Amino acid sequence: MPLETLPATDGQLNAGRPIDRDAIAEIFAEIALEAGVAVMAVYASDCHARRKPDKSPVCDADEYAEAIILERLAARLPHLPVLAEEAAAHGQNAVSGSTFILVDPVDGTREFLSRNGEFTINIGLIVDGAPQAGVVYAPALGQLWIGGASAYACMVAPGAALPPPHQRRRIHVRPAPPQGLTALESRSHSDPETEAFLAQLPIKERRAAGSSLKFCAVAEGDADVYPRFGQTMEWDTAAGDAILRAAGGMVLDRERHPLQYGKVGAQFRNGPFVAWGDPNAIVR
């Protein structure tokens, strides 16, 4: 279904009229701010960390936030199927059609457990294999990034009202600095392939960061490239990818094609990718 024909079902919109990417992103942002309250309540207490069957960590914050997000999405965007990380971990990973929502209730659970603040709530809209709207919210930092037709950032506390558009800062990727690139690396995942890739580039500075914050840093012109060769899932990347694309950047796979979503045959796993700000900096 083309995005322009998605029906508006939220009470704050005119029912029956077309809905755009920015309207979807606004809904995502309001839901993420609400989920942030539950996440931060767990952050301030015992989070009951445990391991999923795939050995990745999970805690109460993941499950509480996902429950809130799924309930709100069902009420406000009932026409859109949703694939969420914790539900998928329990075998609920079926989505129908080419338009659906991806949810990662706490991206960067390791960062959450280490209490460094570098974790996010991610909600992204996929249409025909591409991310068209997304929200990344870092509740411990009070930072929100929104991507639709354009990309914006603002400061807002968990549970607070979403700031109106005039109180948000429009963001855009930067041209590759002539003095060298700033590269972002995963704080919790490193590998020799990343080192080999970065050795090809004129890197001036390297920084480590957690979760989808790396996409957002490239989107707002604070960094230039973020390579990831280890395994990720589509819900890990969709929201940040949407924001970066809205800000003028791109996320490319190993064949230098835009990263695709809805990979049912791969069980929604991503292959290697590189997030770029300036297209002119891409290694050919």
pLDDT tens for each residue of 108-124: 878 888 888 899 999 99
Task: Output 210 or 157, whichever has higher pLDDT.
Answer: 157
Pick from 120, 175, 128, 123: nearest CA to 148: 123
Pick from 180, 190, 271: nearest CA to 225: 180
Q: Which two tokens stand for residue 236?
A: 């890990």
pLDDT tens for each residue of 63-85: 899 999 999 999 999 999 999 98
- Residue range 181-281 forms a domain whose CATH class is alpha beta
Residue 116 one-letter amino acid: N
Instruction: State yes or no: pLDDT of 7 exceeds 50.
Output: no
Fold of 3-170: Fructose-1,6-Bisphosphatase; Chain A, domain 1 (3.30.540)
pLDDT tens for each residue of 218-228: 999 999 999 99
pTM across the whole model? 0.90
Question: What integer pLDDT is reported at residue 112 of this predicted model?
Answer: 82
- Separation of alpha carbons 159 and 164, rounded Å: 15
pLDDT tens for each residue of 172-214: 999 999 999 999 998 766 678 998 999 999 999 999 998 899 9
pLDDT tier at 5, thresholds 50, 70, 90:
very low
Question: What integer pLDDT is reported at residue 210 of this predicted model?
Answer: 86
Could you tell me the CA-to-CA distances from 193 to 197, 204, 239, 273 in Å, in that order? 6, 19, 25, 12
pLDDT tier at 58, thresholds 50, 70, 90:
low
pLDDT tier at 153, thresholds 50, 70, 90:
very high
State mean pLDDT over 47-51. 61
Question: How is the chain split into domains, by residue range?
Answer: 3-170, 181-281
